[in-house]
Chain A
């Protein structure tokens, strides 16, 4: 990111800038202050998605950059922590998708279960191991067809709720109910796998 240039032509680090969204933080708080204050919580969120400390560091840096770039999108001062949480969550998921795509593109195969990384695992391996993918597909197969189809259209085909409603001939609220119940049921069946060692 280009450093901000002051009226006197002096360059200052973005992290030293005053928050550009007025009244979002305490009057003297800067973006750097915000990041320093919330770093622990943000790293914890990232850690729920990644198993690798180096990867957490990478995503934390990405979160810092996104905060600087998107500060203007923050709507409410009181929502700053929730906004930061969402950025951390999205950055973590984006990182996992990039990592997985890179592995598949390079090798044409699923990630090696014994690929190197912290604790002997690749950063995305804990998430996308064969064991987990198989368990998820089995759990998905046990859902009622109506919920399974809604989830498949939403996640696999990327349709939005209106498109799913049109496809299935039901209203949008019914789609959200099916998605909500289906996702809850999947998590219930997979909680040991996905939260046991997170």
Chain B
């Protein structure tokens, strides 16, 4: 008997949709938090708990939690401590106020929130309270980080090693990949091999300014990491100590999203856009690219995706794969939502009428 299909959670500029599969197909249903911007979503599989991060226009960043059923309740939101009035950080030009929860991961009893600006926060009580990971925030290297599409640098990807919860890897746009192996006491930048083509020649290989758009991990082989970088695609087979650039596939190596196959470390999916300067599909034809051999070659998947007059962009958190690798879903910044039930080979459109989609996750 086939496994039941996951719920596809779609966080948008105007609410959170739980897309469910029934005998008659996929159904969106009414949004949770109607009208409110949802920037991030996390599902804790061990407890069945959902978390939704909001960025209210007036009232700031909020976090809501659903422990099952339809009841959402507000919990604590990450917040910076008071900005120092003296010392090294008193003139920090980066505001010590959380503008957005950009990355949210639940697992092994800890909730991690990567934020914009680039604070990493940790909760060990299910979001009731949060603590800034000062060992990363107070690194002198942070002064060199650059905003990637926003005014300030931010943390959008957080990966907890399934073998060891003390090993956490985060990606900063623009600040490279950072890792801790002691639950956040100490951090090391592990961006060796990445190249930032847009920087002055002397700084292109600087690990501290790499613009990682998205970082993902193979669950079954956690040493294998995939990155969609501003300048192309990268893969690591040693937990990020070394990165190898993947030869540019057709039709493009530019994009934001990557999904790693949960079981097969050779497989990953990307959603290319034309280029940095043209963040739209090549020739207005939307495709997903998939490698099954670690990036040596790529398949271009078009079936079910719009092949003319299509100007969708799939943002960094808006491509998701189910735990069994069978179901994929993606949403665009112009409100298109697609699902694949055959490992990304063919797609069906569920909506072209949603608000801008920030995040798609399975739960």
Q: Are these two chains actual partners, yes or no?
A: no
Residues of B within 8 A of A (CB): none
Residues of A within 8 A of B (CB): none
